Each structure stands twice: as C-alpha cells, then as structure tokens.
C-alpha cells in the first residue's frame, strides 16, 4: 500500500475542527473595552472598600463617644460621691424631711407620702446596707430611729453650720438642732418629769410643766465614716449638747441635772 502523501494535506485537514477553536487576536477596540471593564470592576471594589472603611470609622467614633460619655458619667459620679458633698446633700434632705414631717401638726395640710418615701430613699442611698449608729445596725433601722426621734418633738429643724473632712473618708458636721418640747417629749424622753405620785408641786413635775412648749437650741456634731470603695457612709457618731440647751432655758445647772436624771437620751 503506497504511503500517503502529506504534502497534499492542508493545515485544516491536519488539525480538523481544532483550528476553528483557536482564539482570534483581539482588536484594539476589544482590548480597550476589556481594559475599561477591568477599570470599572476595580473602581467598584475600591468604592466598596472605601465605604467599608468609612463605616468602620463611624462605628469607632460611636464607640469613642459612648466611652467618653461613660467616662464623664463615672467622673461625675465620683465627684458626686465626694464625702463633704454627700454630707451636705444629706443635711439638705434632712431639713426638707423635717419640714415635711412638720406638716402633720397642721390638719389642713395632707402629708405627701410619696414625697416622704422619695426623701427617705434618697437619704438611704447615702448609706451602706449595714450602716451602724451606736447600737443600731442597718440602714432601715437607722432611718426608723431618725423618724421616731423626729416625732418626739414639735417643729424639729436642723441647720448645717460647718463641714470638715478631718481625714480621708471621715467628715465631721457641726449643726444646730431646734426642737420644741411637747407632751410626747416628756412621755418618751423625760418620763420622770410626768410623775405626780407625791405632789403636783414636786420638782420633777414642775420642771416638766415649765419645759412644755419651750424651744431648745442644741449644738450637735455628727461624724460620718465613709467606705472609700462605694463612697457611702458605713458608720455614724452623734453628739448633742442637751446640757447647754437646757441651761439656756432653765438658767441653772441644778435644774438641768434634775431634768436629765432618768432621761432616755445620751448626754
């Protein structure tokens, strides 16, 4: 069989249909079109990256503003927990509390229970839960003692005169307490002055009758011990000068001694 003559075979007959699959060279217009498409895609990606960066920056700025506000709030809270400021605010609340309780003596004025509870809550926030005052322990017990003692007198008022931070976390307040002696005062604090078993002219009864309705001006001192971590009061020490107040009314120490004999107050 004679060998085939490949000279008569052209390129298409050798490659068959594969010759038609070879890419044609791009024209200048097609190259420009593809280049423009790549540029468009790159610009789109660039804009997306820019938007993502701007979004991240906005989120960071929001976080910065939030943290800044928190820092200001914490700084303000720390400043508001300054011991002298806490004690000053407490005396302002105490004055308002006494004025509110004084409305009970006026039948034409109804006591605003909601306001009273709000004041008590505000004052309680200045103490730790287990605050100590003498033999009394616990914030509820301390507030109950304050309320009860305020009912023993008529027209109780307190005026802050001076604050001194004697050392870190210890503040001493000097104040003037004005109270009017009432029947409740004699019953609960000076019961001996109501005894009439011997004679209505006996010294104790006469002194009680003399004191009834008198206003006492008592110099008092309260020391507040603060917990540094919470900025709240953990302990209180009180001192009220009953002797000086009674002496200004009675005029001699012997009668003052008779009044204080058997009295249920700390002298």
CATH number of the domain where residue 210 is located:
3.10.450.50
Contacts of 170 (CB under 8 A, 6+ apart): 83, 223, 224, 225, 226
Domain hosting 68: range is 27-80
The pLDDT of residue 82 is 87
The pLDDT of residue 76 is 54
The pLDDT of residue 110 is 53
For residue 104, being part of any structural domain is answered with yes
Do 65 and 91 fall into the same domain? Answer: no
- DSSP annotation of 182 reads -
CA-CA distance, 156 to 216, in Å (whole number)? Answer: 10
| Residue 51, φ and ψ in degrees, nearest 5 | -65, -40
Do 125 and 32 fall into the same domain? Answer: no
The rounded average pLDDT for each run of 10 residues, N- to C-terminus, in the chain (267 residues) is: 54 53 70 80 86 86 82 59 89 87 53 76 90 93 90 91 92 95 92 69 79 94 92 94 95 92 85
Number of domains in the chain: 2
For residue 231, being part of any structural domain is answered with yes
pTM, to two decimals = 0.65
Do 62 and 147 fall into the same domain? Answer: no
Do 49 and 105 fall into the same domain? Answer: no
The pLDDT of residue 194 is 84
Burial tier of 223 (Cβ tally within 10 Å: 0-12, 13-18, 19+):
middle
Which H or E run contains 67? Answer: helix 28-80
For residue 4, being part of any structural domain is answered with no
The pLDDT of residue 108 is 42
The pLDDT of residue 233 is 94
Do 150 and 37 fall into the same domain? Answer: no
For residue 106, being part of any structural domain is answered with yes
For residue 2, being part of any structural domain is answered with no
């Amino acid at each position: 069989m004679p060998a085939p003559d490949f000279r008569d075979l052209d390129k298409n007959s050798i490659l068959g249909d594969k010759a038609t699959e070879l890419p044609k060279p791009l024209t200048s217009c097609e190259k420009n079109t593809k280049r423009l498409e790549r540029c468009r895609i790159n610009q789109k990606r660039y804009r997306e990256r820019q938007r993502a960066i701007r979004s991240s920056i906005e989120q960071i700025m929001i976080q910065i503003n939030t943290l800044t506000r928190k820092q200001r709030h914490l700084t303000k809270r720390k400043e508001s927990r300054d011991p002298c400021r806490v004690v000053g605010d407490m005396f302002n609340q105490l004055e308002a509390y006494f004025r509110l309780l004084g409305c009970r003596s006026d039948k034409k004025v109804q006591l605003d229970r909601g306001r009273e509870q709000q004041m008590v809550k505000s004052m309680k926030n200045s103490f730790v839960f287990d605050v100590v005052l003498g033999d009394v322990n616990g914030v509820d017990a301390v507030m109950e003692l304050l309320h009860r003692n305020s009912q023993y007198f008529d027209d109780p008022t307190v005026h802050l005169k001076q604050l001194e931070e004697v050392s870190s976390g210890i503040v001493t307040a000097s104040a003037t307490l004005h109270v009017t002696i009432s029947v409740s005062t004699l019953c609960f604090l000076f019961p001996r002055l109501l005894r009439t078993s011997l004679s209505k002219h006996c010294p104790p009864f006469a002194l009680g009758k003399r004191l009834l309705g008198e206003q006492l001006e008592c110099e008092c001192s309260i020391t507040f011990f603060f917990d540094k971590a919470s900025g709240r009061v953990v302990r209180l020490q009180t001192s009220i000068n009953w002797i000086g107040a009674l002496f200004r009314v009675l005029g001699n120490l012997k009668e003052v001694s008779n009044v204080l004999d058997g009295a249920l107050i700390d002298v």
